[in-house]
Amino acid sequence: MTTILITGTNRGIGLELAKQALAKGWTVYGSARGVVTDPEAHICDHPKYHDLVFDVTDHVAVRAAAASVSEPIDILINNAGTIGPKRQSVLDMDFDGFAKTLAINTLAPLAVAQAFLPHLKRSSNPRILTVSSRMGSLSHAKSDRIAYRASKAAVNKVMQGLASDLQPMGVAVAQLHPGWVRTDMGGQGADIDVSTSAAGILKIAEGLTLEGTGRFYNWDGARLEW
Ligand code: NDP
């Protein structure tokens, strides 16, 4: 049976990933900054749902959470993320906000992957997926929300390196764009709903092998340019 760890399960794509993983009968470790209280889905009451409480930028808390988990983890989905500060154009940058964006979107996925690597190595089919964004693609020359774009470009590079280093250990690593999704971040005018996006992400997670490691995928499984 599959055990999955998802960061940011209190709302948005992460919450839907947790719901769909539980519906598959998987064991879910979900992380949030506070205890998840979702009255509609009752994920918090589900016997196979386990809360982990940490801010992804608090590396000490991340390691303590890892130490509290004894079972192997098959799939890690780094989902928690931020759009960044209000002022984030190259000519008018909130630098503290930029640094915080990098801490959440770029450094935290690596810190979480490092902390839970021992659990992943004990799986027979370990996989790490990071929810990135097409907004980080270097082939897109747009300059709006540059802190967010830079943080996602950087996490792609970090995870590409992790894929290379973990390949000999049998751990597959991939990045994905979840689509433009109707969440607090995506807004209500976005292209797809959370259910469609999460189903696509879990399909990629289920099918990911060492052959596909180090790649950047769209939510529908298509490969994307860096
Ligand atoms: P939401 O804004 O709806 O949710 C963001 C999640 O990340 C929340 O659970 C939030 O928790 C969590 N989070 C943010 N900062 C931290 C932190 N420091 N520590 C722990 N958790 C944190 O976003 P989405 O669900 O839309 O986005 C999920 C992922 O998908 C993100 O990585 C985003 O960049 C990516 N993405 C989304 C797109 C979209 O269209 N929606 C498009 C492309 C990529 P809290 O409630 O505590 O803030």
Confidence bin at 44 (pLDDT 50/70/90) = confident
How confident is the model at residue 3, as a pLDDT? 98
Chosen CATH of 3-224 out of 3.40.50.720, 3.40.50.1370, 3.40.50.2300, 3.40.462.40: 3.40.50.720
Would the pLDDT of 42 be above 90?
Answer: no
For residues 205 and 217, the answer to whether their CB atoms sit within 8 Å is no
How confident is the model at residue 200, as a pLDDT? 98
DSSP code, position 10: T
Q: Determine the distance separating the centroid of ligand 1 and the alpha carbon of 208, expressed in angstroms.
A: 23
- What atom of ligand 1 comes closest to residue 185's alpha carbon? 2
Q: Determine the distance separating the centroid of ligand 1 and the alpha carbon of 166, expressed in angstroms.
A: 26
DSSP 24-55: TT-EEEEEESS----TTT-GGG-TTEEEEE--
How confident is the model at residue 36, as a pLDDT? 78
Residue with tokens 């386990």: 50
Taking only the tens place, the pLDDT of each residue in 122-174 is 999 999 999 999 999 998 888 899 999 999 999 999 999 999 999 999 999 99
**151 membership: H or E segment, kind and range:** helix 146-166
Q: Determine the distance separating the centroid of ligand 1 and the alpha carbon of 168, expressed in angstroms.
A: 31
* Ligand 1 lined by 181 (C-beta under 6 Å): yes
Kindly list the distances between the CA atom of residue 53 and the CA atoms of 31, 35, 62, 90, 186, in Å, as whole numbers in the listed order: 6, 6, 9, 34, 24
Taking only the tens place, the pLDDT of each residue in 51-95 is 999 999 999 999 999 999 999 999 999 999 999 999 999 999 999
- Where do the domains of the chain lie? 3-224
How confident is the model at residue 211, as a pLDDT? 96
The preferred substitution site among 82, 110, 145 for testing ligand 1, maximizing ligand atoms within 8 Å of CB, is 82
Q: How far apart are CA 199 and CA 171, in angstroms?
A: 22
How confident is the model at residue 167, as a pLDDT? 98
Ramachandran quadrant class, 25 (left: phi over 0; alpha: psi -120 to 50; beta: rest): left
How far from each other are the two terminal CA atoms of the chain, in whole angstroms?
33
- What atom of ligand 1 comes closest to residue 104's alpha carbon? 18
Taking only the tens place, the pLDDT of each residue in 13-41 is 999 999 999 999 999 999 999 887 777 66
Taking only the tens place, the pLDDT of each residue in 179-223 is 999 999 999 999 999 999 999 999 999 999 999 999 999 999 999
For residues 100 and 58, the answer to whether their CB atoms sit within 8 Å is no
* Ligand 1 lined by 56 (C-beta under 6 Å): yes
Taking only the tens place, the pLDDT of each residue in 101-130 is 999 999 999 999 999 999 999 999 999 999
Q: Determine the distance separating the centroid of ligand 1 and the alpha carbon of 105, expressed in angstroms.
A: 9
* Ligand 1 lined by 11 (C-beta under 6 Å): yes
Contacts of 73 by beta carbon, 8 Å cutoff, 6+ apart? 3, 4, 5, 29, 116, 119, 120, 122, 123, 126
